[in-house]
Amino acid sequence: MNILISGGTGFVGSKLVEQLSSLGHHSYILTRTPNTFSNTKRTFYISYSNTMDLPPIDVVINLAGESLYGYWTKTKKEKIKSSRIESTKFLVELMSKMKKKPEVFISGSAVGYYGTSDEKIFTENTVEPGNDFLADVVVEWENTAKEAEKLDIRTVFARFGVILGMDGGALPLMALPTKLYFGGRIGNGNQWTSWVHIQDAVDLIIYVINKKSIQGALNVTAPNPLRNQEFNQILSKSLKRPYWFPTPGAIIRIATGEMSQLVLKGQYVLPKKALNEGFQFTYPTLELALHQCFQRVKKN
């Protein structure tokens, strides 16, 4: 298949492209700097301004977006929102001009849709979004992607949780205090972390491509969310480090401002649709996921 990807050079995108290539698919990666990358037999880097040369596209995947990490100034928040909305608008408009429409549009999204809670359980059946900044961003993001449905294109909103891997994402930063012997709960430790191993995230995206019955919201999270306290206990055990040094929430709020909600608040999200559709997680538990991540680092 010919697969067009925006955000294909990022943490998830690069892993996805690598796996798609191994399966014999051709990836066309949209980038503003195509000359900084080298094409291969199955991977091609295309400028956003030069899409006229694309072959017929079977699948479109949008993984582009400004990183959530960093102090949330007004400018940063505008970039977080605009980068997601504009990239999605661009792809929907591009698909509208294609003579042969793609079979599926997989639009990156986030579990931030649900807002935060220490008590509620969220699945794809949860239709009421949260009422904070991230929830507002995700709602507009998904509404923009929904325009693809008017083109009769199967559309999936991949709501990613915290993606674990050692080549990027949140894990290297999350593990740093523990590696430095300062491991412990953050804040009160009751906030939920809905996580997923990078390999399962990539496998689920590819599963969606082939599983035509999957559409709409899709939680890309492992089936075993954990509270921060338990998450960090397992992290400390995996790294063979002590678990004893709690970090007060006030310090996190002072250091990171509004972004602190990513650390101090969370949501219990279950991948109900993926499980019902027969997807099998390779790393359903945090112990398995962290073992793979840290064993891979040792081998390298």
Query: pLDDT category, 297, cuts 50, 70, 90?
Result: low
Q: Is the pLDDT of residue 220 over 90?
A: yes
**Selection from 281, 294, 101 nearest residue 195 by Cα:** 281
CA distance 175 to 190: 18
DSSP 247: B
pLDDT digits (tens, 9 = 90+) for 7-26: 999 999 999 999 999 999 99
Rg (CA), the chain: 19
State the DSSP H helix or E strand holding residue 136, giving kind and residue range, or none if neither.
helix 133-145
CB 27 within 8 A of CB 20: yes
Check: pTM over 0.75? Answer yes or no. Answer: yes
Query: pLDDT category, 296, cuts 50, 70, 90?
Result: low
CA distance 289 to 266: 20
CA distance 144 to 139: 9
Query: pLDDT category, 37, cuts 50, 70, 90?
Result: very high
pLDDT digits (tens, 9 = 90+) for 62-71: 999 999 988 9
Architecture, CATH, for domain 2-299: 3-Layer(aba) Sandwich (3.40)
